[in-house]
Amino acid sequence: MSLLETIAVTKQFGGLTAVNRVSMHVDEGEIVGLIGPNGAGKTTFLNAIAGLNPPTSGTVRAFGEDTTGLTPEKMCHRGLSRTFQIPRPFPKMTALENVMAAAIFGNRRKPPRDPVAHSREMLEFVEFPESEKTVSENLNTVQLKRLDLARALASSPRLLFLDELAAGLTEGELKDIITIIRKIQENGVTILMVEHIMQLIMNVCDRLVVIQFGSKIAEGPTREVAQDPKVTEAYLGKSQ
């Protein structure tokens, strides 16, 4: 059974169709990569599913029910977490408090007995490099991405969206992230990730969905899709 299924999901901003009738699915336990050039509509698509910016039309089915247009907090309670392309933490809170917010309010299905300990575990899990007492407005982007991942994991998601988590990482950090993503998968979390970094995509994704100008142009096992001429063309920006 698919954990997530979208049927002809469309998102328009005024006259601009940012996402155009995208149908796709993510099966339980999979890691699916959502790829496509900048501005293709990937983030908008994630937002449409996660409730931050509900779809104009189309249907979203997650966890076996119709979740089209549900609020972000309801999606979170049902088991969907996401990280942000540009991490947006709670700037005046410490790193620990940032994670605790999700541990306490997002974790309806498996409320941790000790939210503080649970949050510390999450920070450890993502190998957060700073003290948990650091106020998050003092963190740099790479540190914020780890914090955002810890926050997203703190609500014990069944389905996790990662939006360009690895952008801007060094070679060493990339290896760490690959290990971390694999560990998340081993813990039974299904992942849909927007990513540009080929090394990461080829390493962890079972399947790829490619979108360009808001429409799905290819879908399939990672290796096949990566060799699809349509896809390489999309990336090289050749016009049909």
Chain contacts with other proteins (rule: CB under 8 A) = 50-52, 71-73, 76-77, 81-82, 84, 88-93, 96-97, 100-102, 104-108, 116, 133, 151-152, 154-155
83 vs 119, beta carbon nearer Mg ion: 83
63 vs 235, beta carbon nearer other proteins: 63
> At 61, which helix (H) or strand (E)?
strand 57-62
39 vs 221, beta carbon nearer ligand ADP: 39
Compute the C-alpha angle 226/229/232, nearest 5°: 60
| Least distance CB 175 / other proteins (angstroms) | 28
Contacts to ligand ADP by CB under 6 A: 13, 16, 18, 36, 38-44
List the one residue out of 191, 136, 128, 163 whose CA is nearest residue 42: 163
**Residue 109 structure tokens:** 């299905």
**Residue 65 structure tokens:** 């029910």
Q: How far apart are CA 221 and CA 225, in angstroms?
A: 6
53 binds Mg ion (CB under 5 A): no
Q: How far apart are CA 135 and CA 104, in angstroms?
A: 19
Strands 31-35 and 190-194: parallel
Tell me the per-residue interface mask from 57 to 86 with Mg ion, x by CB under 5 A, - otherwise: ----------------------------x-
22 vs 100, beta carbon nearer other proteins: 100
Residues that bind Mg ion (CB under 5 A): 43, 85
